[in-house]
Amino acid sequence: MKQLHFKSMVCEASDKDPTLEVKSPFDGAVVGTVSVSAAEDIERALATAHRLFKNRRGWLAAADREAILRRAAQNMIDVAEDLAMLIAQEGGKPLVDARAETVRAIDGILSCAEAIRGNGGHVIPMNINASSAHRMAFTQREPIGVVVAVSAFNHPLNLIVHQVGPAVAAGCPFIVKPATDTPLSCLTLIDILRKAGLPEAWGQAIVLESNELASRLVMDARVGFFSFIGSAAVGWKLRSQLAPGVRCALEHGGAAPVIVAADADLDKAIPKLIKGGFYHAGQVCVSVQRVYAHQSIARNTADRLARAAESLVVGDPTKADTHVGPLIRPKELDRVDSWVQNAVAAGAELLTGGKRVGKTCYAPTVLFAPPADCEISQKEVFGPVVCVYPYDDIEQAFHAANSLQVAFQAAVFTRDFDTAIRAYHELDASAVMVNEHTAFRVDWMPFAGLRESGLGVGGIPYTFHDMQIEKMFVGVSP
């Protein structure tokens, strides 16, 4: 696949903007170049988007928005393999998983198109007392305003679909800032939307190297809705800078807990825990990280996880047989290794991994019984590390699972219905998977981080809803 070169996707921007080289996290090869925007580009983008929104007579009709999205989905189908390879090249996601992400992204665009047809309001009861006599009232939905989206690197196509697809469906002009590590998939999607008929001014993409500039984009009063996917530290800071009245959705990370009951079917559980723990080298916000296994099966669970982890192919993400690719940046490799070595020094047993593979990859790692107060037990590792903790009583497991300030998705493996229901009630999580790993997701389900893990509810129909207001009509008979 040849290198991609993107000029600025801000309307009327200069062609003389400095460029950023986008490099493969695996081998450092240049995948493409993009224009880097400055402060004046931010102002131009916001002014353009706000002007469009304020001109109500110029809003895109629902039929046009649906047609654009359906054409875009077909165009994505036509270049699906190129999209998957691009995800693997710029983001380091193994090709098998990049292909799955592309399929999800296409389905997500179609889900946005389908949401438009069910976008009705509702009737407000009238004529039920003297005050409401001779009146009728109903609601319809309108776009909330300019959408600003700031995205993450780990799903560089599908996350953008979740942020800008609903904006197109809702009729909101949008400005999207992709992660600097992986902007090419985002810019390709915006190009596809434009070729499908989306007017350029309605969908602008902006690449920024400075967090200060990102703050200027976010804190502007012309923003109607702010969508953020990324670290909690950045997300909560940006939320504090929003202008009054701006609505937002934040999606951060977690340290997903799994309860493995004494009666769990390990033959079925182990492959799912391996997938959930080492998918995209653990760089997933709901990746399996903390596995609480009953004392009677804990060592067996950990040993089987270690043997399965050792069989995974680590290396070049563009090869079809690779299971685990690189971490996104060398400093992340250093951090993960530091956390693992600190845990081992504090008493954890290293069953497999715990070492670098080449210059950019980390071996899938399984730790047994790390101390509860070490970093790897307290924070999101965002790397290919799974920890197994034995427990005697399931109440201990629930307490440990709920002990952190992050909470997102959780899981329980059991053959007993009562245990499953008990885990559902006891675990602090927005979703509890039964006999499934914590990273399970289909894109129409609600997806929400709790406490420090986020704010609001993701998932295409929920984001589509949040990017609109419900406007009421009240009429009196003449």
- Which residues are tagged catalytic? 251, 285
- Phi, psi for residue 385 in degrees, rounded to 5: -135, 130
**Per-residue tokens: 231:** 């670290």
Which residues are within 8 A (CB) of 121 and not within 5 positions of it... i.e. 6 or more apart?
Answer: 138, 139, 140, 141, 470, 471
Q: Is 420 helix (H, G, I), strand (E, B) or coil?
A: helix
CA distances from 364 to 269, 270, 306, 350 (A): 17, 14, 8, 11
Contact criterion met (CB below 8 Å) for 183 and 22 = yes
**Per-residue tokens: 112:** 């946005």
Burial of 134 (0-12, 13-18, 19+ CB in 10 A): exposed
- Phi, psi for residue 289 in degrees, rounded to 5: -130, -45
Contact criterion met (CB below 8 Å) for 169 and 113 = yes
Q: Is 317 helix (H, G, I), strand (E, B) or coil?
A: coil
Contact criterion met (CB below 8 Å) for 90 and 24 = yes
Nearest CA to 287 out of 438, 158, 100 is that of 438
Rounded to 5°, the CA angle 192-198-202 comes to 115
- Phi, psi for residue 87 in degrees, rounded to 5: -60, -45
Q: What is the DSSP letter of 429?
A: S
Starting from the edge strand earliest in sequence, which strands make up the sheet with 365-368, in order?
A: 349-352, 365-368, 385-391, 288-294, 256-260, 409-413, 431-434
CB atoms within 10 A of CB 303: 15
Contact criterion met (CB below 8 Å) for 306 and 402 = no
The counts of H helices and E strands in the chain are 15, 23
The end-to-end CA distance of the chain, in Å, is 67
Q: Is 5 helix (H, G, I), strand (E, B) or coil?
A: strand
